[in-house]
Structure 1
Amino acid sequence: MLGKAIRKAVLPILLASLMVGSGCRIAYGKADIPLNEKAENHTSDNTAASPEEQEKTTEPAAPYDALVQAPSALLMETSTGTVIYEKDSDTRRSPASITKIMTLILIFDALENGTLKMDDLVTTSAYAKSMGGSQVFLEEGETQDVETMIKCIVIASGNDASVAMAEHIGGSEQEFVRQMNERAAGLGMENTHFVDCCGLTESTDHYTTVRDIAIMSRELITKYPKILEYSSIWMENITHVTRQGSKEFCLTNTNKLLRSYDGCIGLKTGSTSLAKYCVSAVASRNNITLISVVMAEPDYKVRFKDAAAMLNYGFSKCSFYTDENPEKLPQIEVRKGTKPTTEVKYEKNFQYLSTDGKTIGEVERKLNLETQVQAPVKEGDVAGTLEYYQNGQKLGEVNILFSETIEKATYKNCLEKLLKLL
């Protein structure tokens, strides 16, 4: 009996020692921490990142396979669209307020084509005012100019401002959403469908992916870089003017990386109980701009930590080679043309993105350009190429274009030229 009692007492101690020695940990039945309900489309969380959190966002890049906790994540270099890191990047998920990136694209499209101006006044409808979630508390009948509405959308993620702009541009939110889906299809966003313009809906028919978010984020910031002037604002006041009088309202950016990550300049956060926590973060360092997208994060702090981890990884791996001084191009002889020679030019400066973390060394050039061509030649047509190599491996090429149009000489042209020589 005594031996049995001793074994009963000693066995748990031996078992615990064995588990500690093998690196195991014992769970004590602590309840799971519930989803933080400070979701963007519920209530805003405008607390700045603590010094400890700021320190975390500047730590060295983590290994590739342990980079993020997010179920879906993607890191893209902006100028080339190169994907540097991805995890479950084509799974459809609810985007919450990340939806507003497409809303902003359509707003800037309208500004570009002249159907909208920054100082145009936009009137808030009863429907726009009724939007819940994150809002800037626009009153029915209240007017704000387009620029203020853009700030309300990109800084404070105002659902009411998004709907007011959708109605102003499209006539109705439904028509505006149709245009959003059409624009998404044009960008090749194959796994995206929008139901509303702000992401407040929890319909399962409203979805996108981290890849498609990166695509539309890139479209917005490369085609309309002015958006970064607004997305990088931390706090700004607007003035509500209604029948009750005027009052100041402070917009505070929902993107905490602006305060905690060096080089962060945007772009958009999103959160609902269905979408959980999402962010499309944009940061720029040393002429390299990266887009870091995460979706379905368990809480708002983890989304920023993961986005920062991908940015750290990207900046540690990326370097650019730009040929800012390519060799001077000769004139090209044009046979049987109305002019004897033509100028040629480079289509653009050659750029090459390296993502292996190595410094780009000496680069060799190879010019492919005929000394003479047969008329006619057309301005903008390709005359040749300049190729770039490193250690025998081709990095890429840039086109060389004709600078002018030269028609083929007619009998009359030849006769006139001959008479001038007499």
Structure 2
Amino acid sequence: MRGMAAGAGEGETPEELAQLYARSAVLMDADSGRVLFGKDADTARPMASTTKIMTCILALETADLEMECSVSEEAASQPEVRLGVREGETYRLEDLLCSLMLESHNDSAVVIAENTAGSVEKFAGMMNRKAEEIGCRDTYFITPNGLDASDGTGIHSTTAADLARILKYCITQSPKRTAFLDITGKDSYTFTDLSGQRSFSLQNHNAFLTMMEGALTGKTGFTADAGYCYVGALENRGRTFIVALLACGWPGNKGYKWEDTKKLMQYGIDHYQYETVTLDRPLPALPVSGGAPPSGTLEGEALALLASEPIQKEFLLAENETVTASIDLPEKLTAPVTEGQEVGSIRYCVGDFPVAEQKVTVAAKVPERSALWCFSQVCARYFAGKNKINQ
């Protein structure tokens, strides 16, 4: 069991991660969403076909897998990489999602967007709203397939930290996370269009699935502007790590993304373990303005005793990391104060990342020092004095 103390070594680049190829990289704890390591983690860059994790999860959440999707002229005209759909054909949504995620087909992405939202533009609006809901800080979607694009608002882009947040949502928070993992984890898949006249066979191009034990899911990407990109997740002994890479080499260096991914995942496996931490901070008594002293006399200052419920939680921590606490309380309270009244909080952090919060309440009531209370105290003293004389 680990206690709480000050952290150390924040901001330092570990020796094992000093030579990453990616211009932007993140290693994230999928449970808490904490960025364990970042390199230019908040720099916005084009993200190519890693975009398709958002396309996939939105389609899963808004439409039925059996939905019939018709192909428009716009969808059929998309550039490589493509399934080869033809205008007027119809397909099952589930089949198109497998095409999207296993072989990264750009035409399938447009068919999905048009049939779930009515148009690519409306679907992009859904993508941006979902990104904001997830907590993405600097992400802007224009296309459902990740092809390089720009408009009057900006360029199609994200950050390594935001890309990791999106995958975290897909695998831990979305109500369709099981379906997402099932689709993206398939080795291969075969299907036909709804007429049965054309058949297709897909192979999963996410090579990371066979590179490390526990690999769960992921998506590759490449465009001329973005370079090679990747986002993926791995589970190891109850820990789930996410790696996101942007601008990880250009043609001639296709393997860089796999080297960086393995290096970051292994760093997480080697250095982070779940630790049980007891959250229990001693609390000061707060003065109560206009309060009756607990002694029941006219002298002395009224103080409110505070309480917080000790709890134990598990956190993913490196060997040199600890949980720190900061207490948020007013300088004083104003009477009357009731038992159980919430007066502040204790915030627990690892580095600057908040991991837990406790409420601080009043342990016992403090009545107001009213005129009636003062009169009752004077009377009590008077009669106590008379009793002594009579004795």
Per the TM superposition, whether the score is higher than 0.5 is: yes
Q: Which runs of 5+ in 1 are unaligned?
A: 1-61, 111-115, 324-345, 361-373, 389-394, 400-422
Give the secondary structure class of the aligned counterpart of 2:247. strand
Query: Which residue of structure 2 lines up, in the alignment, with residue 229 of structure 1?
Result: 182
Matches within 5 A, 1:227-266: 227-242=180-195, 245-247=197-199, 249-266=200-217
- 1:304 partner letter: W
Q: In the TM superposition, what is the alpha-carbon distance from 1:263 to its structure 2 partner?
A: 1.2
CA distance in 1, matches of 2:210, 2:245: 19
Structure 2 residue aligned with 1:5: none
Q: Which runs of 4+ in 1 moved over 4 A?
A: 395-399
Structure 2 Cα separation of the partners of residues 271 and 82 of structure 1: 27
Does residue 1:301 correspond to 2:228, yes or no?
A: no
Show structure 2 runs of 5+ residues with no match.
1-13, 278-308, 323-337, 349-354, 360-391
Residues 121 and 143 in structure 1, CA contact (< 8 A), matched pair in contact too = yes
Alpha-carbon distance, 1:138 to partner: 2.0
Q: 1:67 to 1:318 in 2, by over 3 A?
A: farther
Equivalent position of 1:127 in the other structure: 74
Deviation at 1:188, TM superposition (A): 2.7
**Alpha-carbon contact 1:142-1:240 (below 8 Å) kept:** yes
The residue that corresponds to 1:356 in the other structure is 319
Q: Give the deviation of 1:304 after TM superposition.
A: 1.0
What is the aligned partner in structure 2 of residue 72 from structure 1? 24
8 A Cα contact 1:152 1:158, kept in partner: yes
Summarize the alignment of residues 74-93 of structure 1 with structure 2, pairs less than 5 Å apart.
74-93=26-45
C-alpha distance 63-159 of structure 1, shift in aligned 2 (>3 A) = same
Residue of structure 2 aligned with 1:213, choices 163, 166, 190? 163
Within the candidate set 201, 212, 221, 2:148 is matched to: 201
SS in 2 for 1:283: strand
Structure 2 residue corresponding to 1:318, chosen from 269, 272, 278: 272
Equivalent residue, structure 2, for 1:103 = 55
Question: Residue 277 of structure 1 corresponds to which residue in structure 2?
Answer: 228
Question: What per-residue deviation string (whole Å, max 9, x for no partner) do you get for residues 381-421 of structure 1?
Answer: 99xx9x99xxxxxx96789xxxxxxxxxxxxxxxxxxxxxx
- 5 Å-filtered alignment, 1:49-60, equals none
| Residues 174/396 of structure 1: CA separation in 2 closer, same or farther (3 Å cut) | closer
**Aligned CA-pair RMSD:** 3.5
- Contact 1:177–1:196 at 8 Å: present in 2 too? yes
CA distance in 2, matches of 1:398, 1:84: 24
Identity percentage of aligned residues? 28
Distance in structure 1 (CA, Å) of the matches to 2:90 and 2:116: 15
SS at 1:94's partner residue? coil
Aligned length: 291
The Cα shift of 1:302 comes to 0.4
Q: Give how far 1:93 is off.
A: 0.8
The DSSP-based 3-state class of the residue aligned with 1:300 is coil
1:305 aligned partner, one-letter code: E
Aligned residue number for residue 10 of structure 1: none
